[in-house]
Amino acid sequence: MPLDLCKTPWNVQKICEEATMKELNADLQRAVRQGASVPREYRLQAPGEEVELTGMRRHDALNGRAGEVLSRVADDQGFLLVRVQLPEGAKNMKIQPRCLKPIRHPKDGRPRGGRLTGFVDMYHDHPEAAASVVSSRPPTARSALSAAASSVLRQNPAEETSRLV
């Protein structure tokens, strides 16, 4: 039986990407036709970032409150740890990322988010201990991770210095 060359991993990936884009566009068009608000792009909140709580259905009193993101990643249920300012003092609460609206001053020059430049698996047997390396540098800049990786990949540093001399 001859091989079906159309079912290469590249083609399967492209078909999945196109199907996903069609589905997202159909959902967007449906929302526009029904008069619903257009869903906003998903953005991760950075630790230390000031946020405003919005869209809280069960705790309406918390809507409009200011908070500060404490956790870098969401827990198993998808919640971020946020320090919320209440009249009786600050309280740490778990809140869904969709309920967090960033509060940024127009003159705030800090970069928003970053670019994932590598993934460091510190403990091969413990995936929960793995960490992402994020850089706000442009993609042309050489990251510290790539410098460290190239130094680790060298077999014999003395051999390389002898070639340079």
Residues 119 and 98 in one domain: no
Whether the per-residue pLDDT at 159 is higher than 90: the answer is: no
Higher pLDDT, residue 126 or 3:
3
Tokens encoding 68: 């500060």
Of 94, 47, 98, nearest to 75 by C-alpha is 94
21 phi and psi angles, rounded to 5 deg: -65, -40
50-53: strand order across its sheet: 89-95, 80-86, 66-69, 50-53, 100-102
Structural domain count, the chain? 3
Decide if pLDDT at 152 tops 50.
no
pLDDT at residue 146 tops 50 = no
Domain membership flag for residue 109: no
Looking at residues 86-115, what average pLDDT do you find?
77
Q: Is residue 97 part of a domain?
A: yes
Please indicate, yes or no, whether residues 98 and 125 belong to a single structural domain of this protein: no
Q: Which pLDDT band, with edges at 50, 70 and 90, does 56 fall under?
A: confident
**Is 95 buried (19+), middle (13-18) or exposed (0-12) by CB count in 10 A?**
buried
Q: What is the mean pLDDT of residues 77-91?
A: 91
- The parent domain of residue 148 ranges over 115-158
Q: Who has greater pLDDT, 86 or 138?
A: 86
Residue 119 lies in a domain: yes
Section 38-47 average pLDDT: 64
Same domain, 55 and 92: yes
Q: Assess whether pLDDT exceeds 80 at residue 36.
A: no
Confidence grade of residue 41 (pLDDT, cut at 50, 70, 90): low
The per-residue pLDDT for 94 is: 93
How does the average pLDDT of the chain come out, rounded? 71
